Amino acid sequence: MTSRLADEDVVLAEPERPCGTGVLVLHGSSGRLEADRARLLARHGAHALAIRWIGGVGQPSDPYEVPLELFSAGLDRLAARCDRLAVLGLSFGAEAALLTGVHDSRVDAVVAFAPSPVAWAGFSGGRMSSHWSLRGEPVPFMPFLVDGEPTGDPPAFRGLYEASLAADPARAAQAAIPVERISGDVVLVGGEDDQVWPGADFARLVARRRDRHGLASTVVIHPGAGHRVMLPGEEPARGGMRMARGGSERADRELGQLAWPHLRRVLRLH
């Protein structure tokens, strides 16, 4: 897979009154360019670059050994314009955001919506490997239970993720994202009603690991919110795989409102 970004796989939103921060904006498993989210951040002063990292030119259709260098290439595009660099991602994109913060020392802030404390398995042609690679090698990853299945209709994957982690604590430790290596600000946002995976619990696990190393994190939780976070001014996201995501539009908006002051602080938005 290429670690270069094609022009059709990026949207750069430029502010009228720059705040000095460049934000790399990452989608989740939908593969949808988060152009509207980038434009929202630009209205508040950020240079915001939304990139597609699956389903684009030279990219796999699903998360499978996606080079972390791809995200550094996105930061390269922002670096010449900005004094500070940040990465904001949702779900699998939050995985990527945290790992980019670990491996790219230029990152001053990470904002992770519905994050994961580990890197997960991806599948391609019947083979299983990591969602991510670095310098051509798979990042250590957490596999799923062989006989695990989602539940309900539409399917909820939360139980599968929880059971997979609980089944092999040693493998989970190996797959853990070393978030203590992120030197900048970290904001973790999750909904207790997330039915894709336990986003609120995962956010707390990430914060707990950083806390053990004397590093503070900001954790924003809403009891009724689901997997998707809606920032002030955003409309509900459409598309993506058919699945149960939990929450409600009202609760997801409330979570976004709770998170917004912390985003403004760490991204230095107007």
What is the CATH T-level fold of the domain 7-267, as seen in this structure? Rossmann fold (3.40.50)
**DSSP one-letter string for the chain:** ---S--GGGEEEE--SS--SEEEEEE--TT----HHHHHHHHHTT-EEEEE--SSSTT--SS-SSEETHHHHHHHHHHHTT-SEEEEEEETHHHHHHHHHHHH-TTEEEEEEES--SBPBEEEETTEEEESEEETTEEPP-BPPPTT---BTTTTB-HHHHHHHHHH-HHHHHHHB--GGG--SEEEEEEETT-SSS-HHHHHHHHHHHHHHTT---EEEEETT--S----TTPPPP--SSS----S-HHHHHHHHHHHHHHHHHHHT--
Q: Which of 136, 141, 154, 56 is nearest to 95 (CA)?
A: 141
Mention every residue, 6+ apart, whose C-beta is less than 8 A from residue 60.
1, 54, 66, 124
pLDDT tens across 64-81, in order?
999 999 999 999 999 999
Q: How confident is the model at residue 46 (pLDDT cuts 50, 70, 90)?
A: very high
**The predicted structure's pLDDT at residue 239:** 72
pLDDT tens across 102-148, in order?
999 999 999 999 999 999 999 988 899 999 999 999 999 999 998 88
The rounded distance, in Å, linking the Cα atoms of 222 and 251 is 7
Q: Which residue is associated with the tokens 């791809």?
A: 70
The rounded distance, in Å, linking the Cα atoms of 195 and 164 is 15
The neighbouring-strand residues paired with 105 are: none
**The predicted structure's pLDDT at residue 1:** 60
Token pair listed for 243: 């699945």
Mean pLDDT for the stretch of residues 168-179: 98
Mean pLDDT for the stretch of residues 185-189: 99
Task: Please give the residue that has the higher pLDDT: either 191 or 147.
Answer: 191
Mention every residue, 6+ apart, whose C-beta is less than 8 A from residue 139.
68, 99, 119, 130, 131, 132, 133
Task: Please give the residue that has the higher pLDDT: either 3 or 1.
Answer: 3
Crossing angle of helices 92-103 and 69-79, rounded to 10°:
70
**The predicted structure's pLDDT at residue 219:** 98
The rounded distance, in Å, linking the Cα atoms of 73 and 203 is 26
Domain ranges of the chain: 7-267
Whether 86 shows a pLDDT value over 80: the answer reads yes
Whether 2 shows a pLDDT value over 70: the answer reads no
Percent of the chain with pLDDT over 70: 99
pLDDT tens across 216-252, in order?
999 999 999 999 999 999 998 877 788 999 999 999 9
Mean pLDDT for the stretch of residues 50-68: 95
Average pLDDT, the chain: 96
Mean pLDDT for the stretch of residues 195-212: 98
Mean pLDDT for the stretch of residues 36-53: 98
